[in-house]
């Protein structure tokens, strides 16, 4: 399961670099030539969304997500595993399931009428971005399941081989 987020995270890490290039082009056009295109601004938004959404499972896998480490950092691996297990079961998994269901309705509705940008000159197929919301939560759910399994193995005292 973790290989999925490793692959997706590595693949979509490039969207951040691409986003920087697109923003630089947008800034150059805007400040040196006094014009811009709506679609360029929307591409920036799409790239940011892709890097954030598709990188969330990767960030969780590598423990680069936001965490309050006031106590956690000094705890034993087993105690950390208990916190990760309970937090994943009580908070992460329900949040992912609710979000996936909500995003499915949101994206399906958008796809049903082939929603596109409300801006003149904007990008078509806005529903693609909305389905990316759904996929982002699916990747996070997959990593949450892997985290639960890893935590159970740690609590049982079994050695876990990690791939980075």
pLDDT tens readout for residues 59-73: 999 988 777 777 888
Poorest-pLDDT segment among 16-20, 51-55, 68-72: 68-72
Domain boundaries, the chain: 2-155
Residues 102 and 138 sit within 8 Å (Cβ to Cβ): no
For the entire predicted model, the pTM comes to: 0.86
Residue for token pair 């499915």: 104
Count Cβ neighbours within 10 Å for each residue of 60-79 and write b for 16 or more, e otherwise.
Answer: bbeeeeeeeeeeeeeeeeee
């Amino acid at each position: 399961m973790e290989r999925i987020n490793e692959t997706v995270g590595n693949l979509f890490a490039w969207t951040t670099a691409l986003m920087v290039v697109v923003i630089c082009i947008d800034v150059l056009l805007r400040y040196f030539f006094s014009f811009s295109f709506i679609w360029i601004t929307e591409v920036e938004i799409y790239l940011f969304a892709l890097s954030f959404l598709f990188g969330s499972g990767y960030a969780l896998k590598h423990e680069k997500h936001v965490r309050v480490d006031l106590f956690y950092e000094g705890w034993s691996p087993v105690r950390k595993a208990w916190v990760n297990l309970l937090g994943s079961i009580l908070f992460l998994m329900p949040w992912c399931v609710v979000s996936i269901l909500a995003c499915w309705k949101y994206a399906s509705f958008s796809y049903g009428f082939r929603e596109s940008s409300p801006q003149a000159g904007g990008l078509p197929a806005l529903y693609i971005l909305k389905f990316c919301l759904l996929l982002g939560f699916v990747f996070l759910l997959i990593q949450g399941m892997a985290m639960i399994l890893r935590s159970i193995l740690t609590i049982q005292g079994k050695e876990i081989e990690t791939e980075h």
